[in-house]
Amino acid sequence: MTVDEVLALCLDLPGAWPDQPWGEGVVPKVGRPPGKIFAFPGQGWVAVKLAPEDGAELRAAYPDAVGDAPYLSKRHWARVRLGAAVPDDEVGELVLASYRLVVAKLPRAQRPTG
């Protein structure tokens, strides 16, 4: 899976929209602006939000492909190398799980329907 494919997958989710908060590189957000980022795709990696126990399990299963996401909580976010040991369908599941975690924390009025 490529970064562009991950971004396309993210933007296909209900209520997801692209943003460029730092002037370059696109991140997917959900919720009314300013919204919440649910994935950080870029440069052969994607950072996703995870439940702490899932992050530990994922790092143990793929030690060469999954690590800490720079500048993000090591307990709640992991960086997954694309095109490595983690199968594409599992990367897709991780993106969807990240999206769901972020949506669950949005106020009810901002949660996408559908």
Residue 114 resides in a domain = no
Q: Using one digit for the tens of pLDDT, what is the confidence trace for 66-81?
A: 999 999 999 999 999 9
The answer on pLDDT for 44 being more than 70 is: yes
Residue 113 resides in a domain = no
pTM to 2 decimals?
Answer: 0.95
The answer on pLDDT for 48 being more than 90 is: yes
Of the CA atoms within 13 Å of residue 63, those in its CB half-sphere come to 1
Of 113 and 85, the structure prediction assigns the larger pLDDT to: 85
Residue 82 resides in a domain = yes
**Contacts (Cβ under 8 Å, ≥6 apart) of 16:** 10, 28, 29, 30, 38, 99, 112
Which range of residues forms the domain containing residue 76? 3-108
Residue 55 resides in a domain = yes
CATH number at residue 82: 3.90.1150.30
Residue 23 resides in a domain = yes
Residue 37 resides in a domain = yes
pLDDT given for residue 84 in this prediction:
80
Q: How many domains does the chain have?
A: 1
For residues 99 and 16, what is the distance between their CA atoms, to the nearest angstrom?
A: 9
Q: Using one digit for the tens of pLDDT, what is the confidence trace for 28-39?
A: 999 999 999 999
> Is residue 114 very low, low, confident or very high in pLDDT (cuts 50, 70, 90)?
low
Cα–Cα separations (whole angstroms), residue 74 to 20, 61, 88? 23, 17, 23
> Is residue 113 very low, low, confident or very high in pLDDT (cuts 50, 70, 90)?
confident
**Contacts (Cβ under 8 Å, ≥6 apart) of 23:** none
Residue 18 resides in a domain = yes
Question: Residue range 74-90: average pLDDT?
Answer: 95
Residue 16 resides in a domain = yes
Cα–Cα separations (whole angstroms), residue 3 to 23, 25, 46, 48, 75? 18, 11, 7, 13, 23
